[in-house]
Amino acid sequence: MSHIFSCGECGRRYPIDEIRYRCDCGAPLEIVSEGPIHVSRNTFDARLGVRQLPYASGVWRFREMLPPLDDAHIVSRPEGNTNLYSVGADEAGGFRRIGEYAGLPSLHVKHEGENPTASFKDRGMTVGVSQAVALGASAVACASTGNTSASLASYAAQAGIPCFVFVPEGKIASGKLAQTLAYGAVTLQIKGDFDAAMKLVQEVCARLNIYLLNSVNPFRIEGQKTIAFELLQQMDWEPPDWIALPAGNLGNTAALGKALLEARELGLISKLPRLAPIQATGANPFYQSYATSFTERFSVQADTVATAIKIGNPVSYERARKAVRETGGVVAEVSDSAILEAKAVIDRAGIGCEPASAASIAGARLLVESGVIKPTGRVVAILTGHILKDTETTVNYHMGDGLYANHPHVVEAQFDEVSAALEKYL
Ligand code: F0G
């Protein structure tokens, strides 16, 4: 079975073993299978108990849905196998806070922060770095708001390939910078924003013959598709009505859309969930395009507390537009204060996530309030990153006067003072 690069815009096709990310027309490419794929739910369900690689990975378990790679080239931690928490308002226990907040009796969150480097990026990276190994790449690179760089640095270290990352100076959360430095990536702090770093890394990769591992690379998208396959499998292949997710560079929106369309085509599901990519108001170019029914493409000077999605000119625009259109999706925007409030609720339930991830719950709540998502709808929200990625923002929130702020008590080291502080809670 062979695969090719295909352009969703103009239909041009290219061999998959070429080093290429975009079509000659400029649009990012997609990987498609030229022959029929023979799989059933059983193919994937039968692998659930397997402890050996590659099937122990929540990415490689869905191998037939991925481009072909030899076992010898696979670089896997392994990744995936993240929890799908039932957090609807109908649940017992503290998780139900999230469903109550969103106004949804049936709600799940899929926690992609439970991946090896604590974000969803590991799913695309295992496929992208495996392809780098297959190609014999001498070095790999990416631009990043922090999670992609942490993930690439880790997988490149495992593969033994030099890694260069371009991050906007002073604008990524310290947990992510710490990971990137610690995993040994050569780290360039660019004096500019993510969009400037993204533009630069594409030029540098082309001119210095370095393999580019941003999500413009179609192999990354292929790995990220497995978020959808895994959540469908965890729901016994009964698809939810909606999947809400934070949206920045739009790779994940593109990947989930592609996955859902493929799952339906192969008969793994009979109904398509609708996608709801959620942007921050200060970084909302995709929302603005959606508001014009995609007749116009926008770019903005991005600004949001959710630094992971502080992106003004998303690379995967075309592929994400297709994902929204073909799943009957909607795009929404939420304010920074809505993101921080939703994050506090997710954290307080005992689950926790980084700020950008909370856009999914803030967005679901907004779409329920505005009547787009029916309260009877079955919704899955993707939490893309771990609570410990951005501790500054969390601590700042709890020191401030937000609705759910949990101020620490400073007391002398004496029983009486401690007792007085605890009195009102006992
Ligand atoms: N959530 C988190 C935690 C992210 O790190 C990102 C993107 C997104 C959501 C948005 O996903 O770009 O596929 O639309 N982070 C990239 C990075 C840009 O460099 O780590 P997207």
For 249-277, how does the pLDDT look when each residue is reduced to its tens digit (9 = 90+)? 999 999 999 999 999 999 999 999 999 99
- For residue 363 and ligand 1, the question of a CB distance below 6 A is answered with no
Atom of ligand 1 nearest to the CA of 151: 20
Compute the average pLDDT of residues 3-15.
Answer: 96
CA of 332 to the centre of ligand 1 (A): 16
- Residues of the chain with pLDDT > 70, as a percent, come to 100
pLDDT (0 to 100) of residue 143: 98
CA of 2 to the centre of ligand 1 (A): 30
Tokens of 191: 């004096």
- For residue 246 and ligand 1, the question of a CB distance below 6 A is answered with yes
- For residue 115 and ligand 1, the question of a CB distance below 6 A is answered with no
Q: Which of 279, 276, 229, 239 is nearest to 106 (CA)?
A: 239
**What's the rounded Cα separation, in Å, for the pair 144 and 249?**
10
CA of 356 to the centre of ligand 1 (A): 8
- For residue 304 and ligand 1, the question of a CB distance below 6 A is answered with no
pLDDT above 70 for 241? yes
The answer to whether the beta carbons of residues 193 and 170 sit under 8 Å apart is no
Atom of ligand 1 nearest to the CA of 146: 20
- For residue 248 and ligand 1, the question of a CB distance below 6 A is answered with yes
Split at pLDDT 50, 70, 90, the class of 1 is: low
Nearest CA to ligand 1 atom 9: 246
- Tell me the pLDDT tens digit for each residue of 120-172: 999 999 999 999 999 999 999 999 999 999 999 999 999 999 999 999 999 99
* Mutation probe of ligand 1 site: the residue of 154, 177, 187, 252 with most atoms within 8 A of C-beta: 252
CA of 130 to the centre of ligand 1 (A): 21
- For residue 151 and ligand 1, the question of a CB distance below 6 A is answered with no
The distance of Cα 278 from the centroid of its chain, to the nearest Å, equals 12
CA of 309 to the centre of ligand 1 (A): 6
Atom of ligand 1 nearest to the CA of 311: 18
**What's the rounded Cα separation, in Å, for the pair 421 and 34?**
68
CA of 308 to the centre of ligand 1 (A): 5
CA of 418 to the centre of ligand 1 (A): 42
Dihedral sign for Cα atoms in the order 50, 54, 55, 57: positive
Atom of ligand 1 nearest to the CA of 385: 3
- For residue 233 and ligand 1, the question of a CB distance below 6 A is answered with no
**What's the rounded Cα separation, in Å, for the pair 376 and 103?**
9
- For residue 214 and ligand 1, the question of a CB distance below 6 A is answered with no
pLDDT above 60 for 329? yes
- For residue 215 and ligand 1, the question of a CB distance below 6 A is answered with yes
Tokens of 195: 């969009």
Q: How far is CA 333 from CA 336, 379, 413, in A?
A: 10, 18, 46
CA of 248 to the centre of ligand 1 (A): 6
- Tell me the pLDDT tens digit for each residue of 342-359: 999 999 999 999 999 999
- For residue 252 and ligand 1, the question of a CB distance below 6 A is answered with yes
Compute the average pLDDT of residues 205-216.
Answer: 97
DSSP H or E run through 383: strand 379-383
| Phi, psi for 188 (deg, rounded to 5) | -105, 115
- Tell me the pLDDT tens digit for each residue of 180-199: 999 999 999 999 999 999 99
Which distant-in-sequence residues (6+ apart) come within 8 Å of 235 by Cβ? 84, 108, 380
* Mutation probe of ligand 1 site: the residue of 225, 286, 384 with most atoms within 8 A of C-beta: 384
Compute the average pLDDT of residues 294-310.
Answer: 98
